[in-house]
Amino acid sequence: MSLIPDITELLARARADLRMGVPVVLTGEEGESVLAVAAETLSPARLADLRALGMPVIAVTGRRAETLKARAYDGDLARVLIPGFADLAWVQAVADPSDDLAQPMKGPLTTERQGSAALHRLAIGLTKSARLLPAAVVVAVADGRGFAVAHGLTCLDHARAAPHLGERSPLHEVAAARLPMEVSEAGRLHVFRPEDGGEEHYAVEIGRPDRDKPVLARLHSACFTGDLMGSLKCDCGPQLRGALAQMGEEGAGVLLYLNQEGRGIGLANKMRAYFLQDQGFDTVEANHRLGFEDDERDFRLGSDILKSLGFKAVRLLTNNPAKIAMMERTGIAVTERVPLKVGETAHNRGYLATKAAKSGHML
Protein backbone atom coordinates (compact mmCIF):
# COMPACT_ATOMS: atom_id res chain seq x y z
CA MET A 1 0.00 0.00 0.00
CA SER A 2 1.47 3.37 -1.04
CA LEU A 3 0.39 5.04 2.20
CA ILE A 4 2.97 3.02 4.14
CA PRO A 5 6.29 4.93 4.49
CA ASP A 6 9.15 3.40 2.48
CA ILE A 7 12.70 3.09 3.83
CA THR A 8 13.72 6.55 2.56
CA GLU A 9 10.79 8.14 4.39
CA LEU A 10 11.45 6.12 7.53
CA LEU A 11 15.07 7.28 7.54
CA ALA A 12 13.94 10.90 7.26
CA ARG A 13 11.55 10.33 10.17
CA ALA A 14 14.34 8.71 12.22
CA ARG A 15 16.69 11.65 11.63
CA ALA A 16 14.00 14.08 12.79
CA ASP A 17 13.32 11.92 15.87
CA LEU A 18 16.99 11.83 16.84
CA ARG A 19 17.32 15.61 16.47
CA MET A 20 14.44 15.99 18.95
CA GLY A 21 15.86 13.45 21.39
CA VAL A 22 13.32 10.75 20.54
CA PRO A 23 14.70 7.19 20.49
CA VAL A 24 14.47 4.94 17.44
CA VAL A 25 14.35 1.14 17.31
CA LEU A 26 16.86 -0.69 15.11
CA THR A 27 16.44 -4.34 14.24
CA GLY A 28 19.00 -6.74 12.82
CA GLU A 29 19.58 -10.35 11.96
CA GLU A 30 18.55 -13.22 14.21
CA GLY A 31 16.01 -11.07 16.03
CA GLU A 32 18.47 -8.67 17.65
CA SER A 33 17.03 -5.23 18.42
CA VAL A 34 18.26 -2.08 20.11
CA LEU A 35 16.88 1.25 21.20
CA ALA A 36 19.11 4.14 20.10
CA VAL A 37 19.07 7.86 20.93
CA ALA A 38 21.52 10.59 19.97
CA ALA A 39 23.88 11.39 22.84
CA GLU A 40 23.66 15.09 22.00
CA THR A 41 19.87 15.32 22.46
CA LEU A 42 19.48 12.76 25.25
CA SER A 43 17.59 13.94 28.36
CA PRO A 44 18.09 12.82 31.99
CA ALA A 45 14.64 11.20 32.02
CA ARG A 46 15.31 9.19 28.88
CA LEU A 47 18.75 8.15 30.15
CA ALA A 48 17.01 6.76 33.24
CA ASP A 49 14.50 4.96 31.02
CA LEU A 50 17.30 3.41 28.97
CA ARG A 51 19.00 2.21 32.14
CA ALA A 52 15.74 0.60 33.28
CA LEU A 53 15.80 -1.48 30.09
CA GLY A 54 19.32 -2.87 30.51
CA MET A 55 23.00 -1.92 30.26
CA PRO A 56 23.33 0.94 27.77
CA VAL A 57 26.53 1.81 25.93
CA ILE A 58 27.57 4.94 24.11
CA ALA A 59 28.69 4.18 20.58
CA VAL A 60 31.35 6.58 19.25
CA THR A 61 33.39 6.58 16.06
CA GLY A 62 36.91 5.25 15.91
CA ARG A 63 38.15 8.83 15.53
CA ARG A 64 36.52 9.88 18.80
CA ALA A 65 37.66 6.67 20.52
CA GLU A 66 41.24 7.50 19.59
CA THR A 67 40.98 10.83 21.37
CA LEU A 68 39.35 9.19 24.40
CA LYS A 69 42.03 6.46 24.51
CA ALA A 70 39.19 3.90 24.34
CA ARG A 71 39.80 0.57 22.63
CA ALA A 72 37.87 0.40 19.36
CA TYR A 73 37.51 -3.37 19.08
CA ASP A 74 35.07 -2.87 16.21
CA GLY A 75 37.59 -0.89 14.17
CA ASP A 76 35.59 2.09 12.99
CA LEU A 77 33.67 2.47 16.27
CA ALA A 78 33.80 1.74 19.99
CA ARG A 79 30.97 0.64 22.27
CA VAL A 80 31.79 2.36 25.57
CA LEU A 81 30.08 0.93 28.64
CA ILE A 82 28.22 3.56 30.66
CA PRO A 83 29.12 3.01 34.34
CA GLY A 84 26.43 3.07 37.01
CA PHE A 85 27.59 6.37 38.48
CA ALA A 86 27.56 8.19 35.13
CA ASP A 87 25.04 10.98 34.68
CA LEU A 88 23.98 12.79 31.53
CA ALA A 89 26.93 15.19 31.77
CA TRP A 90 29.31 12.21 31.73
CA VAL A 91 27.62 10.74 28.66
CA GLN A 92 27.69 14.01 26.76
CA ALA A 93 31.31 14.65 27.73
CA VAL A 94 32.23 11.37 26.06
CA ALA A 95 30.43 12.50 22.90
CA ASP A 96 31.47 16.17 22.90
CA PRO A 97 35.17 17.15 23.01
CA SER A 98 34.52 20.73 24.16
CA ASP A 99 35.95 20.13 27.64
CA ASP A 100 38.59 17.56 26.69
CA LEU A 101 41.47 19.85 27.62
CA ALA A 102 39.85 21.00 30.87
CA GLN A 103 39.01 17.42 31.88
CA PRO A 104 41.26 15.15 29.81
CA MET A 105 40.70 12.01 31.89
CA LYS A 106 37.27 10.61 31.04
CA GLY A 107 38.18 7.04 31.94
CA PRO A 108 39.59 4.58 32.01
CA LEU A 109 36.83 3.61 29.61
CA THR A 110 35.70 0.02 29.14
CA THR A 111 34.52 -0.99 25.70
CA GLU A 112 32.60 -4.03 24.49
CA ARG A 113 34.31 -6.52 22.22
CA GLN A 114 31.74 -9.32 22.03
CA GLY A 115 28.76 -9.50 19.73
CA SER A 116 27.85 -7.58 16.61
CA ALA A 117 28.27 -3.81 16.34
CA ALA A 118 26.17 -3.51 13.18
CA LEU A 119 23.22 -1.77 14.85
CA HIS A 120 25.56 0.56 16.75
CA ARG A 121 27.21 1.45 13.42
CA LEU A 122 23.78 2.22 11.97
CA ALA A 123 22.97 4.41 14.98
CA ILE A 124 26.16 6.44 14.48
CA GLY A 125 25.41 6.77 10.77
CA LEU A 126 21.96 8.13 11.58
CA THR A 127 23.32 10.75 14.00
CA LYS A 128 25.83 11.84 11.37
CA SER A 129 23.18 12.18 8.71
CA ALA A 130 21.08 14.19 11.18
CA ARG A 131 24.01 16.66 11.53
CA LEU A 132 24.42 15.75 15.21
CA LEU A 133 27.53 14.66 17.08
CA PRO A 134 28.35 11.13 15.83
CA ALA A 135 27.54 9.34 19.08
CA ALA A 136 24.51 7.34 20.18
CA VAL A 137 23.39 5.73 23.42
CA VAL A 138 22.25 2.21 22.65
CA VAL A 139 20.58 -0.50 24.72
CA ALA A 140 19.33 -3.94 23.69
CA VAL A 141 15.58 -4.62 23.76
CA ALA A 142 13.52 -7.73 23.10
CA ASP A 143 11.02 -7.82 20.23
CA GLY A 144 12.08 -4.53 18.65
CA ARG A 145 9.11 -4.23 16.33
CA GLY A 146 6.67 -4.86 19.15
CA PHE A 147 8.52 -2.38 21.36
CA ALA A 148 8.33 0.27 18.61
CA VAL A 149 4.59 -0.25 18.12
CA ALA A 150 3.91 -0.17 21.86
CA HIS A 151 5.80 3.10 22.33
CA GLY A 152 5.02 4.83 19.04
CA LEU A 153 8.66 4.80 17.89
CA THR A 154 10.20 4.67 14.43
CA CYS A 155 11.58 1.22 13.62
CA LEU A 156 14.32 0.59 11.06
CA ASP A 157 15.55 -2.73 9.74
CA HIS A 158 19.34 -2.81 9.35
CA ALA A 159 19.34 -4.75 6.08
CA ARG A 160 17.07 -2.15 4.46
CA ALA A 161 18.38 1.02 6.13
CA ALA A 162 22.18 0.62 6.16
CA PRO A 163 22.70 0.62 2.36
CA HIS A 164 20.69 3.83 2.00
CA LEU A 165 22.94 5.78 4.40
CA GLY A 166 25.86 5.28 2.04
CA GLU A 167 23.93 6.35 -1.04
CA ARG A 168 23.18 9.83 -2.25
CA SER A 169 19.53 10.59 -2.76
CA PRO A 170 18.35 11.36 -6.31
CA LEU A 171 17.95 15.09 -6.95
CA HIS A 172 15.10 16.71 -8.86
CA GLU A 173 14.81 20.27 -10.09
CA VAL A 174 11.74 21.79 -8.45
CA ALA A 175 11.97 25.44 -9.49
CA ALA A 176 13.99 27.84 -11.65
CA ALA A 177 13.73 31.51 -12.47
CA ARG A 178 15.66 34.44 -13.87
CA LEU A 179 17.93 36.10 -11.28
CA PRO A 180 19.68 39.36 -12.28
CA MET A 181 22.85 39.68 -10.18
CA GLU A 182 25.63 42.18 -9.61
CA VAL A 183 28.07 40.11 -11.66
CA SER A 184 25.60 39.50 -14.47
CA GLU A 185 22.06 40.55 -15.25
CA ALA A 186 21.75 37.29 -17.19
CA GLY A 187 21.51 35.02 -14.14
CA ARG A 188 19.25 32.07 -13.44
CA LEU A 189 18.77 30.08 -10.23
CA HIS A 190 17.81 26.40 -10.22
CA VAL A 191 16.65 24.67 -7.02
CA PHE A 192 17.24 20.91 -6.65
CA ARG A 193 15.53 18.85 -3.95
CA PRO A 194 16.64 15.36 -2.83
CA GLU A 195 14.08 12.58 -2.45
CA ASP A 196 15.20 11.82 1.11
CA GLY A 197 13.89 15.07 2.59
CA GLY A 198 17.39 16.49 3.01
CA GLU A 199 18.58 20.00 2.30
CA GLU A 200 18.10 21.50 -1.14
CA HIS A 201 21.01 22.43 -3.39
CA TYR A 202 21.25 25.24 -5.93
CA ALA A 203 22.73 25.88 -9.35
CA VAL A 204 23.45 29.49 -10.33
CA GLU A 205 23.69 29.79 -14.10
CA ILE A 206 25.42 32.84 -15.55
CA GLY A 207 24.52 33.75 -19.13
CA ARG A 208 23.62 30.97 -21.52
CA PRO A 209 26.45 28.41 -21.31
CA ASP A 210 26.87 26.22 -24.38
CA ARG A 211 26.09 22.63 -23.34
CA ASP A 212 28.39 21.32 -26.10
CA LYS A 213 31.47 23.08 -24.71
CA PRO A 214 33.27 22.83 -21.33
CA VAL A 215 31.54 25.24 -18.94
CA LEU A 216 33.37 27.33 -16.35
CA ALA A 217 32.05 25.73 -13.16
CA ARG A 218 32.56 25.70 -9.42
CA LEU A 219 31.33 23.33 -6.72
CA HIS A 220 30.90 25.59 -3.69
CA SER A 221 29.96 24.18 -0.29
CA ALA A 222 27.69 26.40 1.77
CA CYS A 223 29.54 28.43 4.39
CA PHE A 224 27.26 30.62 6.50
CA THR A 225 30.16 32.24 8.33
CA GLY A 226 32.24 32.99 5.23
CA ASP A 227 29.61 33.54 2.55
CA LEU A 228 27.21 35.65 4.64
CA MET A 229 29.15 36.96 7.64
CA GLY A 230 32.48 37.72 6.00
CA SER A 231 34.44 35.41 8.29
CA LEU A 232 38.22 35.77 8.12
CA LYS A 233 38.79 32.21 9.39
CA CYS A 234 38.31 30.67 5.93
CA ASP A 235 38.55 31.66 2.26
CA CYS A 236 35.01 30.58 1.33
CA GLY A 237 33.41 34.02 0.92
CA PRO A 238 36.16 35.37 -1.36
CA GLN A 239 36.07 32.13 -3.36
CA LEU A 240 32.31 32.41 -3.86
CA ARG A 241 32.47 36.02 -4.96
CA GLY A 242 35.62 35.49 -7.02
CA ALA A 243 34.08 32.56 -8.90
CA LEU A 244 30.90 34.50 -9.69
CA ALA A 245 32.91 37.54 -10.79
CA GLN A 246 35.01 35.45 -13.18
CA MET A 247 31.89 33.85 -14.65
CA GLY A 248 30.40 37.31 -15.08
CA GLU A 249 33.52 38.55 -16.85
CA GLU A 250 33.50 35.59 -19.23
CA GLY A 251 29.75 35.91 -19.76
CA ALA A 252 28.93 32.30 -18.92
CA GLY A 253 29.34 29.75 -16.14
CA VAL A 254 27.57 27.69 -13.52
CA LEU A 255 28.10 27.75 -9.76
CA LEU A 256 26.76 24.83 -7.77
CA TYR A 257 25.91 25.86 -4.20
CA LEU A 258 25.82 22.64 -2.20
CA ASN A 259 24.34 22.69 1.30
CA GLN A 260 27.17 20.76 2.94
CA GLU A 261 28.15 23.22 5.65
CA GLY A 262 31.38 22.66 7.53
CA ARG A 263 32.72 19.99 5.18
CA GLY A 264 29.46 18.12 5.58
CA ILE A 265 29.16 18.12 9.39
CA GLY A 266 26.68 20.99 9.75
CA LEU A 267 26.98 24.46 11.23
CA ALA A 268 26.65 23.45 14.90
CA ASN A 269 29.46 20.91 14.60
CA LYS A 270 31.49 23.40 12.59
CA MET A 271 31.23 25.85 15.48
CA ARG A 272 32.37 23.08 17.81
CA ALA A 273 35.34 22.58 15.51
CA TYR A 274 36.08 26.32 15.63
CA PHE A 275 36.04 26.15 19.43
CA LEU A 276 38.61 23.35 19.28
CA GLN A 277 40.69 25.33 16.81
CA ASP A 278 40.81 28.17 19.32
CA GLN A 279 42.33 25.62 21.72
CA GLY A 280 45.17 24.98 19.28
CA PHE A 281 43.96 22.13 17.06
CA ASP A 282 44.00 22.47 13.29
CA THR A 283 40.86 21.95 11.20
CA VAL A 284 41.51 18.25 10.53
CA GLU A 285 42.43 17.50 14.15
CA ALA A 286 39.26 19.27 15.31
CA ASN A 287 37.10 17.14 13.03
CA HIS A 288 38.75 13.97 14.31
CA ARG A 289 38.24 14.92 17.95
CA LEU A 290 34.54 15.45 17.19
CA GLY A 291 34.40 11.97 15.69
CA PHE A 292 34.27 12.93 12.01
CA GLU A 293 36.58 12.23 9.11
CA ASP A 294 38.64 14.99 7.46
CA ASP A 295 35.85 15.74 5.00
CA GLU A 296 32.31 14.34 5.12
CA ARG A 297 31.06 15.99 1.92
CA ASP A 298 29.69 14.16 -1.13
CA PHE A 299 30.86 16.00 -4.23
CA ARG A 300 28.94 13.58 -6.46
CA LEU A 301 25.95 15.84 -5.90
CA GLY A 302 27.63 18.43 -8.10
CA SER A 303 28.11 15.93 -10.89
CA ASP A 304 24.45 14.90 -10.65
CA ILE A 305 23.29 18.51 -11.00
CA LEU A 306 25.60 19.24 -13.93
CA LYS A 307 24.31 16.20 -15.80
CA SER A 308 20.73 17.22 -15.04
CA LEU A 309 21.43 20.62 -16.57
CA GLY A 310 22.92 19.01 -19.68
CA PHE A 311 26.65 19.64 -19.11
CA LYS A 312 29.23 17.01 -20.03
CA ALA A 313 32.52 18.83 -19.49
CA VAL A 314 33.81 21.59 -17.21
CA ARG A 315 36.64 24.01 -16.69
CA LEU A 316 36.66 23.57 -12.94
CA LEU A 317 37.34 26.51 -10.62
CA THR A 318 38.99 24.71 -7.71
CA ASN A 319 42.10 24.12 -5.65
CA ASN A 320 40.81 20.75 -4.42
CA PRO A 321 42.04 17.67 -6.31
CA ALA A 322 39.25 15.55 -4.77
CA LYS A 323 36.68 17.52 -6.76
CA ILE A 324 38.57 16.92 -10.02
CA ALA A 325 38.87 13.20 -9.33
CA MET A 326 35.18 12.93 -8.46
CA MET A 327 34.13 14.66 -11.68
CA GLU A 328 36.23 12.33 -13.79
CA ARG A 329 34.96 9.22 -11.94
CA THR A 330 31.33 10.20 -12.42
CA GLY A 331 31.50 10.98 -16.12
CA ILE A 332 32.06 14.76 -16.20
CA ALA A 333 35.24 15.60 -18.12
CA VAL A 334 37.53 18.20 -16.53
CA THR A 335 39.29 19.85 -19.45
CA GLU A 336 41.05 22.46 -17.29
CA ARG A 337 41.60 23.27 -13.64
CA VAL A 338 41.17 26.99 -13.10
CA PRO A 339 42.97 28.06 -9.87
CA LEU A 340 41.02 30.12 -7.35
CA LYS A 341 43.57 31.56 -4.96
CA VAL A 342 41.84 34.37 -3.07
CA GLY A 343 41.00 35.37 0.48
CA GLU A 344 44.17 34.64 2.46
CA THR A 345 44.25 36.56 5.77
CA ALA A 346 46.26 36.51 8.96
CA HIS A 347 43.34 34.63 10.55
CA ASN A 348 43.16 31.78 8.02
CA ARG A 349 46.81 31.32 7.02
CA GLY A 350 47.15 28.25 9.24
CA TYR A 351 43.83 26.85 7.98
CA LEU A 352 44.99 27.17 4.37
CA ALA A 353 48.32 25.57 5.21
CA THR A 354 46.49 22.62 6.76
CA LYS A 355 44.30 22.23 3.69
CA ALA A 356 47.43 22.08 1.54
CA ALA A 357 49.40 19.75 3.82
CA LYS A 358 46.66 17.34 4.90
CA SER A 359 44.00 17.57 2.19
CA GLY A 360 46.23 18.12 -0.83
CA HIS A 361 44.77 21.46 -1.86
CA MET A 362 46.81 23.10 -4.60
CA LEU A 363 47.61 26.43 -2.98
Please tell me whether 234 is known to bind a ligand.
yes
- Provide the greatest CA pair distance for the chain: 66
Catalytic residue among 131, 188, 297, 304: 297
- Ordered alpha helix ranges (H), the chain: 7-19, 44-53, 62-68, 88-95, 118-129, 144-151, 158-165, 236-250, 261-264, 267-278, 283-290, 300-309, 321-329, 349-359
Could you confirm whether 74 is annotated as catalytic?
no
Please tell me whether 15 is known to bind a ligand.
no
* Distance spanning both ends of the chain, measured CA to CA: 55
Spatial separation of the C-alpha atoms in residues 168 and 196, rounded to whole Å = 9
Please tell me whether 236 is known to bind a ligand.
yes
Please tell me whether 21 is known to bind a ligand.
no
> What's the burial of 153, exposed, middle or buried (CB within 10 Å: 0-12/13-18/19+)?
middle
Cβ-contact 44, 36 below 8 angstroms: no
Nearest to 109 by CA among 80, 149, 146: 80
Spatial separation of the C-alpha atoms in residues 119 and 23, rounded to whole Å = 14
Please tell me whether 239 is known to bind a ligand.
yes
Please tell me whether 323 is known to bind a ligand.
yes
Cβ-contact 158, 116 below 8 angstroms: no
Crossing angle of helices 44-53 and 88-95, in 10° steps, is 90
- Amino acid identity of 45? A
Please tell me whether 188 is known to bind a ligand.
no
Please tell me whether 261 is known to bind a ligand.
yes
Under 8 Å CB-to-CB from 357, ≥6 apart: which residues? none
Cβ-contact 18, 41 below 8 angstroms: yes
Cβ-contact 266, 228 below 8 angstroms: no
Spatial separation of the C-alpha atoms in residues 139 and 123, rounded to whole Å = 11
Crossing angle of helices 158-165 and 118-129, in 10° steps, is 40
Please tell me whether 121 is known to bind a ligand.
no
Catalytic residue among 17, 74, 235, 295: 295
Please tell me whether 220 is known to bind a ligand.
yes
Spatial separation of the C-alpha atoms in residues 220 and 168, rounded to whole Å = 18
Could you confirm whether 96 is annotated as catalytic?
no
Report, as residue numbers or ranges, the catalytic residues: 295, 297
| Binding residue ranges | 218-223, 234, 236, 239, 261-263, 283, 318, 323
| Binding residue ranges for Zn(2+) | 223, 234, 236
| Binding residue ranges for GTP | 218-222, 239, 261-263, 283, 318, 323
